[in-house]
Structure formats: C-alpha cells, structure tokens
Amino acid sequence: MSLQQAKPPLPSDDKRWKLVNATMRRNGYADHALIETLHSVQDAFGFLDEGSLRFVAASLDLPLSKVFGVATFYHLFTLKPKGRHACVVCTGTACYIKGAGGLVERLQERYDINPGETTEDDRLSLLTARCVGACGLAPAIVIDGDVLGKLDSESLIAKLEELT
C-alpha cells in the first residue's frame, strides 16, 4: 500500500481541472484510472497537451513516459488542438462500400487539409473513424458530435459551409 502522498497543484485555475481531479478522486488515484482520466482531460480541453500529461502523471504517480505511451496508443486521444468544428468521416467497411473514400477526397480538395489536420483559420478539423455504428445510414458523417447519414459530397460541403 502506498502512502498518501501530496497531490501536485492544479496547472492553472481553469475550472475544468476540477473535473479532471474529480475523475481521479472517484477512482482513488489508482494507476488504472489513467485512461478514464485522459478521457476527462480531452472532454474538458479538447486535446491533451504536455502540461496536462505531466499533471496526470504526477497525480497518478506514473512515469511520464507511460502516460505518453498510453495517450499515443489510442486513436481517440489527440495531442493537437482541434478546430472549432470537427467533421468525422466514417471509413468503416459499409461506408467505404458506399463511397466514403470519395467524400474524404472531396473534403481534402475543398479545404486543402488531410485527415487529422485542421484548416489554417482553425475553423474545421477533418477526421476519420472506423465505424460509428450507424452503418444503415452509410456513408455516415459526424459533425460536432451529431451523426448524419446518406450524404453526398455536395450536401456535406453545404452543411459544413453553414457552420460559423
């Protein structure tokens, strides 16, 4: 049993750190709460930067290398900030058969970014996912968390243009 050790101070007085701390506390600061904690950092801040990884490592008493290793292993975690809007194109098999590849190409062309990148004005990030479980609506697109189905590239771009 490890002794109760002093917890590191919050990286800033941003209220969102309280949420992160709550997740760790709920799990008794156990090392196996790492993934849950990273989820909560990403939910709160949108991405994981070095400062937050250091803070989590110190709080859970884990080597930074391990925290970094876990954060980079899982596709859902991102170390780069995202744009104001996120457009996730499902590239699972059903969506692939129904033309998801063409949608990605068209978006790459239109916004001059590759999957995983964000436009220069920070407005839009283009991402891909492996099956969002709405295969009946293939090709499926997730815009800012909302799943939309059966879109062609023109109506998709029209929707993206409406975002501010």
* Binding of residue 94 to ligand FES (CB under 6 A): yes
The size of the chain, in residues, is 164
Query: Is the CB of 41 or the CB of 140 nearer to ligand FES?
Result: 140
Contacts to another protein by CB under 8 A = 30-36, 38-39, 69-70, 73-77, 91-98, 129-138, 140, 145-149
Do 138 and 90 form a contact (C-beta atoms < 8 A)? yes
- The interface partner of residue 128, options being another protein, ligand FES, none and the CB cut-off 5 to 8 Å by kind, is none
Q: Is 92 helix (H, G, I), strand (E, B) or coil?
A: coil
Residue nearest to ligand FES (CB): 92
Which alpha helices (H) appear in the chain, and where do they start and end? Answer: 16-26, 34-45, 50-60, 64-73, 93-97, 100-111, 153-162
* Total residues binding ligand FES (CB under 6 A): 12
Q: How far, in Å, CA of 68 to CA of 86, rounded? A: 24
87 assigned binding-site residue:
no
Annotated binding site: 90, 95, 131, 135
* Interacting residue ranges for ligand FES, rule: CB under 6 A: 90, 92-95, 131-135, 138, 140
